[in-house]
A and B are shown apart, each in its own frame.
Chain A
Amino acid sequence: GQQVMQIPQYQHVQEGEDFTTYCNSSTTLSNIQWYKQRPGGHPVFLIQLVKSGEVKKQKRLTFQFGEAKKNSSLHITATQTTDVGTYFCAGVRAAGNKLTFGGGTRVLVKP
């Protein structure tokens, strides 16, 4: 079945530094979505990428969808303490409607 993997599992970042988290699917995707879950909370939708090679920005967050539509990345610049949480990618297969989540990247920010 479809698998979505994320690396790294944990990311300890010094405040002000940049980091990137990566998402890889075992199958070609129709679209990929990114979510953020704060500690003790529920996932909140951030963005959806649909086109091959697509790049979208939200303030300090840059999202990219790979050319083959099997991988994606999230890059955060100038990390702040408000960025703490777990970032999940979720893929939808081209041939189906199932939304499959990756294992997430847990981000801790050192002030």
Chain B
Amino acid sequence: DGGITQSPKYLFRKEGQNVTLSCEQNLNHDAMYWYRQDPGQGLRLIYYSQIVNDFQKGDIAEGYSVSREKKESFPLTVTSAQKNPTAFYLCASSTTSQRGAFFGQGTRLTVV
């Protein structure tokens, strides 16, 4: 089945450690996105990518990094520089930014 997969679903890390969240899609979509959602809040854009080897900062990119070496994959690294990393992270993809996005199941990151 085609879809977008995020792993793991739950992730725990100690403060000061970098952590990488996986996002893979087999929908042949060009565009991919990373959003952060805090409890009871909306979605805030971290990074987005329209094509392989290219990505742009979103509204809250500080403390995060991404790569887009393959069309199918858009991993997000939460670095130790991110002051409040505990959140629900959602990855999405779309054919272009002009179409509806498909979301993964999300990764709930807890930093202790």
Contact = CB atoms under 8 A, between A and B. Distances in A.
Contacts of A78: none
A66 interface: no
B60 to A, nearest CB: 11
Given A42-B90, A98-B58, A101-B35, A48 B43 contact: no
A30 B59 contact: no
A45 B101 contact: yes
B106 A42 contact: yes
Contacts of B100: 33, 45-48
Interface string A67-111: 000000000000000000000101010000111111110100000
B65 interface: no
Interface string B8-41: 0000000000000000000000010101000011
A97 B97 contact: yes
Given A42-B103, A42-B105, A99 B33 contact: yes
Interface string B74-112: 000000000000000010101011111111111000000
Given A42-B90, A103-B42, A97 B48 contact: yes
**Chain A interface, >50% SS class:** strand
B41 A99 contact: no
A44 B103 contact: yes
B45 interface: yes
B100 to A, nearest CB: 4
B31 to A, nearest CB: 7
Interface in A31-47: 31, 33, 42-47
A100 B42 CA distance: 10
Contacts of B58: 98
B25 to A, nearest CB: 14
Nearest to A30: B98
Contacts of A1: 59
Nearest to A1: B59
A45 B97 contact: no
Across the A-B interface, give the 7 residue pairs with the lowest CB-CB distance, nearest first. A45-B100, A97-B97, A103-B42, A101-B43, A42-B103, A104-B42, A43-B103
